[in-house]
Amino acid sequence: MRFQTKNVHFPEKMNAHEVSKTKPIYQTTAFAFQDLEDMESFYEGNKSYFYTRMGNPNTDDLAKGVADLEGAEMGVTSSSGLSAILAGVLAVAKSGDHIVATEDLYGGTYQLFSHELKEFGIEVSFVDCSNREAIEKEIKENTVLLYTESITNPLLRVEDLEGIVKIAAVHNLKTMVDNTFATPYLIRPHEVGADMVVHSATKYIGGHSDVSAGVLTGSKELMARAKNKISTLGSNLGPFDGWLGTRGLKTLSLRMERQCANAQKLADALKGLSAVKKVFYPQAAAPNGNGAIVTIELTDDQDIFAFSKKLQWIKIVPTLAGVETSISYPVGTSHRPLPKEMREKLGVTDRMIRISVGIEDAEDIIDVFQNALA
């Protein structure tokens, strides 16, 4: 099946007694057994479900759906994108190990890597992943993982994933790619050899700003390890959130098609405005689009706080990817955890706005921004 068809008909596991058109919500903490022998059969591999923290049909459907679209053997779900990243890291790294990560990444990931992983005894080096020599220089004997984002947040640099994978192969390292901004609609990192792909499914996978979830995909071996970490750490996804994520996933290709087209039009319209110092928007990210995020940096003479008050129906939120156009302020939200000197090095300034472009009429979106800037 082609992508758009797989997006709607991904492999949901249905039991013989299920007759409804959509999957029921298994809103249960545990599953019942006929007797003790029947319960023991779960540990023998003959039963799929035991206790929802360890697995549930609704969360499995979301994991399978994303894995199928990404072209992976298996997927696992978790309570958020960050918990999915942590599960992937702990599937390959232990105390005493070292990770090399791109420096231009989401602020929450930076906080996880620079502070929390340190508590686990895992060291992380941040590097310019557009520079192969810089990556090679940071790799040590105890390095086990290269981590990057397919389209970086918020500067929208398109990563050379094939190059990253080649470097990892030379040094026998695993790779993990945060594919949240691109989604499998645009980029599928497993196709160039990435070992693990992670999503904040809160964003485009769910797509409607009503669920917090994470999805990690990869080989059966790696995902089994990650699933065990999620279960043991108690960072599992709930059944209703899994159901919501699955429902949202089925319209991914339609939403991304419209949002990417709108984002391209908005980026083109904003490039000619005197109030805008720079427009960040990828070019040639993928054959079917360049993403649904546009980042702009205003000129020094613009009052960014006055601008934020003139956005009419466009919401100001600390997230992205809903069907409604919204903006966020990276310095005050997503990249607040980054030290000021790192933000300055990357070019994440206090004049910067990240726009998450929705499915509205493109001309209406453009009008709001042009009027606000005027």
Q: pLDDT tens digits for the chain (374 residues)? A: 899 999 998 766 666 666 778 889 999 999 999 999 999 999 888 888 999 999 999 999 999 999 999 999 999 999 999 999 999 999 999 999 999 999 999 999 999 999 999 999 999 999 999 999 999 999 999 999 999 999 999 999 999 999 999 999 999 999 999 999 999 999 999 999 999 999 999 999 999 999 999 999 999 999 999 999 999 999 999 999 999 999 999 999 999 999 999 999 999 999 989 999 999 999 989 999 999 999 999 999 999 999 999 999 999 999 999 999 999 999 988 888 888 888 888 899 999 999 999 999 999 999 999 999 99
Q: Where in 183-245 does DSSP place strands (E)?
A: 196-200, 214-218
The residue type at 117: L
Instruction: Establish whether 203 is a catalytic residue.
Output: yes
Catalytic residue among 61, 68, 97, 178: 178
Catalytic residue among 61, 64, 104, 106: 106
CB 48 within 8 Å of CB 227 = no
Beta pairing class for 293-298 and 276-280: antiparallel
Q: Encoding tokens for residue 220?
A: 């059966």
CB 252 within 8 Å of CB 205 = yes
Q: Encoding tokens for residue 363?
A: 């001309």
What is the per-residue pLDDT across 172-222, written as a single tens digit (0 to 9) for each?
999 999 999 999 999 999 999 999 999 999 999 999 999 999 999 999 999
The 214-218 sheet, strands edge to edge? 74-78, 214-218, 196-200, 174-178, 143-149, 98-102, 123-127
What is the per-residue pLDDT across 331-341, written as a single tens digit (0 to 9) for each?
988 888 888 88
Percent share of the chain, pLDDT over 70 = 98
Residue 218 neighbours by CB under 8 Å, 6+ apart = 72, 73, 74, 75, 88, 190, 195, 196, 197, 226
pLDDT of residue 132: 94
Catalytic residue among 188, 203, 229, 255: 203
Instruction: Establish whether 51 is a catalytic residue.
Output: no
Catalytic residue among 6, 23, 53, 250: 53
Q: Which domains does the chain have, with CATH numbers?
A: 3-249 (3.40.640.10), 252-373 (3.90.1150.10)
Residue 228 neighbours by CB under 8 Å, 6+ apart = none
pLDDT of residue 10: 75
Secondary structure string (H, E, C) spanning 353-366: EEEECCCCCHHHHH
Instruction: Establish whether 94 is a catalytic residue.
Output: no
Instruction: Establish whether 361 is a catalytic residue.
Output: no
